[in-house]
Amino acid sequence: MGDGALSVREKSSTARVVPSARPRKLAKVPFVELADGRLQGVVSSGSDIGRVYVSSVEAGTYAFACSTNNNRPCGGARGMFCNHIRALVGEAVLQYGAERVARYLKVEVAAGEPDAHSITVAMTATRPAQGDSSAAAQVFSRFLRHLAYLELAPTTAPLPEMQWFPATRAVA
């Protein structure tokens, strides 16, 4: 049945293109994503419960930025990756898998399989520049948008479109 011109994956309506995120603890890094050409996210402050840091690393150049949600610069991110950015890389690897994080950031690790440590080392070895924090507002608003999903009520009206999104055992 069907023709042989396209591969099975190309002919599938329901092949999962993006695997599920892997579960991780969210207390330290409540939000991380690979978007807008950056690894970006939000890191909780260790000392002030009302404060979060907005951190990002650009794919390819590894230009980094870190500031608080009130737009104060992070003291640790002067000339090098701060601990917030290191935590961000670690949690991104937990959530998406090291391979996808490395591919997105365009990081080539020295030897073997990439992991959070080797990805961080490969990036810092290039002595990346400190970027400006102009993206922080956008990242923070994406975080708020992400949180807003929890406020949306469940419904029992059927969503036939979800037939195209089957559950899968595969994870990132």
Q: Does 117 bind other proteins (CB under 8 A)?
A: no
Beta bridge partners of 65: 56
Q: What is the DSSP letter of 1?
A: -
**With CB under 8 A, what is the number of residues at the site for other proteins?**
65
Asked whether the beta carbons of 119 and 112 are under 8 A apart, the reply is no
Q: Quick one: which segment of 44-52, 60-68, 73-81, 105-113 binds other proteins (CB under 8 A)? A: 44-52
Asked whether the beta carbons of 43 and 82 are under 8 A apart, the reply is no
**Which one, 50 or 75, has the nearer CB to other proteins?**
50
CB of 43 vs other proteins, minimal distance in Å? 11
Q: Does 10 bind other proteins (CB under 8 A)?
A: yes
Asked whether the beta carbons of 171 and 20 are under 8 A apart, the reply is yes
CB of 128 vs other proteins, minimal distance in Å? 20
Cα 75 vs. chain centroid, distance in angstroms? Answer: 23
Asked whether the beta carbons of 135 and 71 are under 8 A apart, the reply is no
Binding residues for other proteins (CB under 8 A): 1-3, 5-15, 17-18, 20-27, 30-31, 34-37, 44, 49-50, 52, 69, 95, 143-171
